[in-house]
Structure 1
Amino acid sequence: MSGFWSGWVMFLVVLNLGITFFLFLWSQRLQIPTQPDGTTGHVWAHGVLRESVRKLPLWWVLFSASMFVVGIGYLALYPGFGGYRGALGWTSIDQWQRDTAANNAKIEASLQPLGSMDIGQLSKNRTALTSGERLYLDNCAACHGTAAGGNQSLGAPNLVDDDWLYGHDSLMTSILDGRNGVMPAWAPTLGRDGVNEVASYVLSLSGVNAPADWVAAGKPRYEMLCVACHGADGRGNPALGAPNLTDSVWLYGRDFASVSASIAEGRSGVMPAWRGRLGEEQVRMIAAWLHAQGPT
């Protein structure tokens, strides 16, 4: 904090404390004019209610006075008075670091006995599943959903089915190092009619009815532009993260509009890398929990 802003904060603190303390003292000496019956003369509800004046109880006065002592003591011990760090040298950052370190130590101690287990064994361990579920909800559920069913609007895949873009054995790598899936936009090359024809052919591979003439015209276009990633039979390529086009699992939707949009405009899916935030042991807990939810 610069010297100017430190001084400005000090000024505001002293001003507010001074005004508040003055009003507190003034309220003890203030004499409010009253009627002979001890009321102010203010009446409500057609004279039924009358405003009386009584001194504040001593306990209230003493308690309020003690709050000024507490406030000044707080400013002396903790930061709050401009750039002054406080007699205790406490900071919120230091407190956060201490609490984080203590929490990490607890996590490491609870996970240490599980270090020798593989993911299959962890998926049957109650401690691992409890930790994995909590870690998943804290870090993954925003995109993949609380039940790990995915989100087509985000292009976040279902994590509990039997369809994996990068293969069943790639889960740890996907979480630790992230993924960048890119589907190029083919509208400039194919044009509107070409996009419709390729979309029809692609949908036909998974058993969806499409106009026969569009399917026939789309096949050679697919063979020219798409086989490099998705293969001649349309079954995809896990090494590239190219999806299987012959099943019923579609990352962005199986309807004609969604498939056409993917071909025309392309897709860019990003899975962030979690190695730096979670580390390998915590990622293993997440993988074990997902393994336990899945069909295999």
Structure 2
Amino acid sequence: MSDFFTDFWSYYIAAIALVGIVWCVWLLFSQRKVTKVVGAPEDTGHVWDGDLRELNNPLPRWWMWMFLLACIFGLGYLVLYPGLGSYAGVLKTSSRVELEAHRQAAEQLQREVYGKYMQMDVKQVAAEPAAREIGQRLFLNYCAQCHGSDARGSRGFPNLTDNDWLYGGDPETITQTITKGRNGVMPSFASTIDGKLAGDVAQYVRSLSGLSSDPIRASRGESTFKSTCAACHGSTGKGNQALGAPNLSDRVWLYGSSEANIVDAILKGHNNHMPAHEEILTPERIRMLTAYVWGLSNIGGAGEGGKQ
């Protein structure tokens, strides 16, 4: 009930609950006149199957008592437990308190399991089979939705099994990424670059990574690239990990390497958001995830993958 912004809503909910119970009790006693019938019960006039008639029989007394006891039980419950707006109840029971207690107990159990790994270097943790199994479970729960269960990513989501990193692949940087998240922005240049010139720039970008390109169009796009794009991607297109600007001189593409895809990025831009997990995961879990992600491209010779 802490989501109420003013006391009005607390009183409003409490009033609805109490008025509802009082109305039920009033309705019960207002119908006492039908609990006793002198003579034959009233015929409602409804007939089915030729001779099956509906009668207005009185309410059974046992049913009335059960109804009344249910109302009394409801009132008693609202006195003891939360239910009347922000009123906490006589017993001060709180699902949030219970949840927090369970969470702390679970975290304590996790510390006991993860304790020895917190004293080890991340690279040593990554080499431990048991630790990698824990890291994989965490990855499947918290990361696979975007990066895939095999960590090879998809369009717009980086492949974590290769050696191509937007912000750096050392353990410290991976920890920072998981903890604080990332927000990589490729601005739109539609206001300064028209579609034809964007196509020429795309041809030049393709030439940087050895893809087939039109040399004449690429030469026209080179000057625009160096005056507009080099500020982030560098004059040679090798990117800048401090900014999260991709390397455009390799064969790894986050949104595709076709001219149409590159033109789309130039004119419309991209806004990639990696959410922060510091409010979701404990430091112990973040360390296990860091070790697992680092190990994906450093243990087992995963090599360069293909973010297409």
1:280 corresponds, among 274, 278, 283, to: 283
* Residue in 1 that maps onto 2:167: 166
2-structure distance, mates of 1:283, 1:272? 13
For residues 73-92 of structure 1, what are the alpha-carbon distances to aligned partners after superposition, in whole Å with 9 as ceiling and x for unaligned? 11111133355432112234
2-structure distance, mates of 1:178, 1:54? 69
For residues 131-187 of structure 1, what are the alpha-carbon distances to aligned partners after superposition, in whole Å with 9 as ceiling and x for unaligned? 4345445544454345544353xx332223342222321322222233343434444
Query: CA 1:24–1:117 in 2, change beyond 3 Å: closer, same or farther?
Result: farther
| Long gaps (5+) in structure 1 | none
Count of residues paired in the alignment = 293
Q: Percent identity?
A: 37
TM-score when normalising by structure 1:
0.77
* Residue in 2 that maps onto 1:254: 257
Q: State whether residues 35 and 41 of structure 1, in contact with CA within 8 Å, keep that contact through their aligned partners in structure 2.
A: no
Tell which deviates more after alignment, 124-133 or 9-18.
124-133
* Residue in 1 that maps onto 2:306: none
* Residue in 2 that maps onto 1:14: 18
* Residue in 2 that maps onto 1:90: 93
* Residue in 1 that maps onto 2:82: 79
CA RMSD in angstroms comes to 3.7
Query: CA 1:214–1:102 in 2, change beyond 3 Å: closer, same or farther?
Result: same
How far is the alpha carbon of 1:280 from its aligned partner? Answer: 3.1
Aligned-partner residue type, residue 171 of structure 1: I
Q: Is the aligned partner of 1:208 residue 2:211? A: yes
Aligned-partner residue type, residue 291 of structure 2: A
After superposition, residues 150-161 of structure 1 pair within 5 angstroms as: 150-152=153-155, 155-161=156-162
2:50 corresponds, among 47, 52, 59, to: 47
* Residue in 2 that maps onto 1:197: 200
2-structure distance, mates of 1:166, 1:125? 26
Tell which deviates more after alignment, 205-214 or 248-257.
205-214
| Long gaps (5+) in structure 2 | 304-308
Aligned-partner residue type, residue 43 of structure 1: V
How far is the alpha carbon of 1:30 from its aligned partner? Answer: 1.8
1-structure distance, mates of 2:8, 2:243? 57
Query: CA 1:151–1:70 in 2, change beyond 3 Å: closer, same or farther?
Result: farther
1-structure distance, mates of 2:257, 2:106? 44
Query: CA 1:259–1:35 in 2, change beyond 3 Å: closer, same or farther?
Result: farther
